[in-house]
C-alpha cells in the first residue's frame, strides 16, 4: 500500500465496470485505495459497484458502495451525506460518469440531448454543489473526466456528448478559479481512444475476430501504437488527486498517447 492519499476520503462516480475487465472508474477507485484513501464507490448498478468493493477489500482497503443516479439531485445529496456520516470528510471527488447517444445536430432528439447533458454535466455540477461545502475548510481535489472529443472534431456523430464534455472543460476552469483561495483544486482529464469494457460494448454483437480487428485498427490510429487502458486514466487521476500537485488547478490534462498532436 502507498501513502500518496493516506487518510484521504475519495468519492469515485462510475466506479463499476460495464462488462468484464477493468473500467476507468474501477481502476481509479482501486488505485486511490492502494495509496491509502477510503473510497466511496458510486455506480448506477449496485452489483458493479460491489465488484469494485470486493476488489478493494481483497487488497485491504476501506470502501463502501452506493447505488445512485448522479443526474438526480436527491441521489447526489445522499452520496455526500453518506460519505460524511461514514468517513467524516471529503477530500477528493472523481467525476467519472459519462454516456453518449448517437446523433448529429439534426437527428439528436431533445430527450437524448437532455439525458446526455444531465449525466455528463449536471452530475458534476450537483456533486460540486453538495460536496464543496465539506471541502472548503481544508481544501481538496476535484477531478473531472472529459474527452479529446471536447476539443476536436470527431467523425463519430455524438453531438450531445461532444458539447457536454466541452462545457465540462470550462466548468472545471470556473470552479478552479473560484475556489483556488480555499485550496480546492479542480482539473480535468481529456481521454483519447481507450480500450475498456465500455468501448467494447459497442461491438458486443460482432464475432470475436471482428472485434479483434477493430481493436487493432483503433490501436494503429494512436501515435503510440496502442489505445489507452483504464490504468492510464487512473494514474493521471491519482497524480491530480495527490498533494504533489498543490499548485496545479484549472488544467486540462490530455491522456491520449499523442492522438491530438
Which of the residues are catalytic?
161
Let me know: does 229 contact 194? Beta carbons within 8 Å.
Answer: yes
Please give the helix or strand (H or E) that residue 40 lies within, else none: strand 38-43
Structure-block grid coordinates of residue 71? 443526474
Structure-block grid coordinates of residue 219? 490501436
**What is the rounded CA–CA span in Å between residue 68 and residue 66?**
6
Q: How far apart are the first and last CA of the chain?
A: 36
Q: Where are the alpha helices (DSSP H) in 4-72?
A: 24-34, 46-58
**What is the rounded CA–CA span in Å between residue 201 and residue 218?**
15
Amino acid at each position: 500500500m502507498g501513502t500518496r492519499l493516506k487518510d484521504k476520503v475519495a468519492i469515485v462516480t462510475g466506479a463499476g465496470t460495464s462488462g468484464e475487465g477493468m473500467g476507468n472508474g474501477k481502476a481509479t477507485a482501486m488505485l486511490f485505495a492502494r495509496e491509502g484513501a477510503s473510497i466511496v464507490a458510486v455506480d448506477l448498478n449496485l452489483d458493479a459497484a460491489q465488484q469494485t468493493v470486493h476488489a478493494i477489500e481483497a487488497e485491504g482497503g476501506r470502501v463502501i458502495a452506493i447505488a445512485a443516479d448522479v443526474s438526480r439531485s436527491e441521489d447526489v445529496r445522499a452520496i455526500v451525506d453518506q460519505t460524511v456520516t461514514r468517513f467524516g470528510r471529503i477530500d477528493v471527488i472523481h467525476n467519472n460518469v459519462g454516456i453518449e447517444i448517437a446523433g448529429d445536430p439534426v437527428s439528436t432528439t431533445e430527450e437524448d440531448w437532455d439525458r446526455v447533458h444531465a449525466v455528463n454535466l449536471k452530475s458534476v455540477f450537483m456533486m460540486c454543489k453538495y460536496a464543496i461545502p465539506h471541502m472548503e475548510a481544508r481544501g481538496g481535489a476535484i477531478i473531472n473526466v472529459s474527452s479529446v472529443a471536447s476539443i476536436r472534431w470527431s467523425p463519430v456523430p455524438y453531438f450531445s456528448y461532444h458539447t457536454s464534455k466541452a462545457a465540462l472543460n470550462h466548468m472545471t476552469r470556473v470552479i478552479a478559479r473560484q475556489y483556488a483561495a480555499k485550496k480546492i483544486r479542480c482539473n480535468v482529464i481529456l481521454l483519447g481512444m481507450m480500450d475498456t469494457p465500455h468501448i467494447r460494448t459497442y461491438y458486443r454483437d460482432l464475432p470475436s475476430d471482428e472485434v479483434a480487428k477493430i481493436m487493432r485498427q483503433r490501436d494503429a490510429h494512436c501515435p503510440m501504437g496502442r489505445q489507452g487502458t483504464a490504468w492510464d486514466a487512473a494514474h493521471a487521476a491519482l497524480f491530480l488527486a495527490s498533494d504533489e500537485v498543490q499548485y496545479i488547478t484549472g488544467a486540462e490534462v490530455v491522456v491520449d498517447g499523442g492522438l491530438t498532436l
